[in-house]
Amino acid sequence: MAVSWYAVAFLAATALGASIAPNQQVFEKSACGRVWMTIHSPSIRTSGGGSLLDAIELNWDFSTCSNVPMQIGLFDNRPLSWNNAIAVFSIDSVEGFVITNVSLGEGKLPAGWNTGTGFKGPHCLWPWVGAGDSHIVAYNCLKIQPTWMEDNSDRINKLRIGELVIPGTHNAGAWRFDTEISTISRDSFVLCQDRSIWAQLVHGIRYFDFRIAYYDFYPREEDRYWLNHNLIRVRPLLPLLREIRAFLDSTKEVVFLDAHHFPLGFYHQNGAPIQEVHLGLLRLVQLELGPHIATASQFATGPGTRGPTLQTLVDADKRLLFSYVDNNIVAGNRWLWPILPHLWANTNSPSDLFHYLDRMIDISPLPSARSPLFSAMAQTTPTVLDILFLRGSLRENADSVNRNVTARLISRWRHNANIISSDFFLANDVIDVSIALSVERSNRL
């Protein structure tokens, strides 16, 4: 890789470190190269014959270093000595990863964020990674970034929303069934995430791609809106909007919500929108998130531009942008943001996915784009046959691309990517890399 990670890692360390004074701590450090942790998305087999979910992975990239450290280890605290390592592995390549057989466990959110608003700044979950020879020269922890926009506001607030790098989740609501009994085949091809919306926000996700369906058999209107994966009902929408509301109420972060697909109940047979169903959804969003909504009529900056700065949104204290996939409805409701283009490769092949995204990110946004934002859909899509024959699963698909997504974001996509939406986001390092790259971009202005 031709790019220097050093500059980014350094920026990340200073930017994040500076945000949590007076109790200033640096969670990530390396003289050159970088180590980081991810969570393996498929379950693994253990030597005892059981299976283990959420195995911790240790990742390294020392391609910019003159010496590659000899070993890497897992720790349950800041790595100071190899004597305290839980597991140690030798390093035999300049970049790579190992899957440990240690599970993250319940992944309790630290610093008060598990149940409500906690302390500002990044905080570590329990696992740490360290690498070096006799001495540990590089370390990092698995983090939450609940207030990263505010922590870095001095720098990144001057960026326009289209100039930021924004970590997002694909099918954000599809994380656990809250409905009829699930089956293995459904779970394997329906659930794209394994963390709640609250936990996604606390980890640092700021963009949600929602697929909303309407079921008229519920007596109360507010219960009729569900998040779906295509035709499968996964969770009711209302509680998810309330999690977003609680987060916006207690932070200064900006959140992008994208109603990207209406698989059921929103259209007549002839394709015309069912106005009452759309308007019911808009009422629900206004009722739940209203005080935080940044209306497009007030804040949009015109086709082909990159939108308002973060500063403008924070100063106005309007920090929720709602984009809507139907231009007819947008035309009649000027507070909605226009269709947010999704770069969707629609392929089950990782190499086709990356070829497509490389090309499309380079040419996005189009000069005439009405939305200042665009989202790279950084996941493969199973074919109908994959699903029929239970070939693979979304967890395995995510595993086959997520490491490359992290690597691509640092290199090829570094200057032009905007939103990166992934599946099983803990299996990549998009959050920390997005923060570092947003800071890097602001330094160039």
CB atoms within 10 A of CB 54: 18
Candidates 114-122, 159-167, 278-286, 346-354; binding stretch for ligand NAG (CB under 6 A): 346-354
Token pair for 292 = 């935080």
Minimum distance from residue 78 beta carbon to ligand NAG (Å): 21
Minimum distance from residue 133 beta carbon to ligand NAG (Å): 19
Minimum distance from residue 379 beta carbon to ligand NAG (Å): 13
Contact in structure between 213 and 236 (CB atoms under 8 Å): no
Choose between 56 and 435: whose C-beta lies nearer to ligand NAG: 56
Task: Establish if 351 lies at the interface with ligand NAG (CB under 6 A).
Answer: yes
Task: Establish if 51 lies at the interface with ligand NAG (CB under 6 A).
Answer: no
Q: Report the C-alpha gap between 432 and 107 in whole angstroms.
A: 18
Residue appearing with tokens 């939108």: 307
- Binders of ligand NAG among 52-91, rule CB under 6 A? 87
DSSP 3-state assignment of 441? Answer: helix
Task: Establish if 404 lies at the interface with ligand NAG (CB under 6 A).
Answer: yes
Sign of CA dihedral 250, 251, 252, 258: negative
Q: Report the C-alpha gap between 213 and 217 in whole angstroms.
A: 12
Beta bridge partners of 144: 123
- Number of helices (H), then strands (E), belonging to the chain: the values are 14, 19
Choose between 17 and 382: whose C-beta lies nearer to ligand NAG: 382
Choose between 74 and 248: whose C-beta lies nearer to ligand NAG: 74
Choose between 101 and 230: whose C-beta lies nearer to ligand NAG: 101
Contact in structure between 408 and 44 (CB atoms under 8 Å): no
Candidates 199-207, 241-249, 305-313, 347-355; binding stretch for ligand NAG (CB under 6 A): 347-355
ω into residue 263 within 30 of 0, thus cis?
no
Q: Report the C-alpha gap between 281 and 294 in whole angstroms.
A: 17
Task: Establish if 280 lies at the interface with ligand NAG (CB under 6 A).
Answer: no
- Binders of ligand NAG among 178-237, rule CB under 6 A? none
Task: Establish if 49 lies at the interface with ligand NAG (CB under 6 A).
Answer: no
Minimum distance from residue 391 beta carbon to ligand NAG (Å): 18
Which residues are near ligand NAG by CB under 6 A?
A: 46-48, 87, 101, 350-351, 354, 404
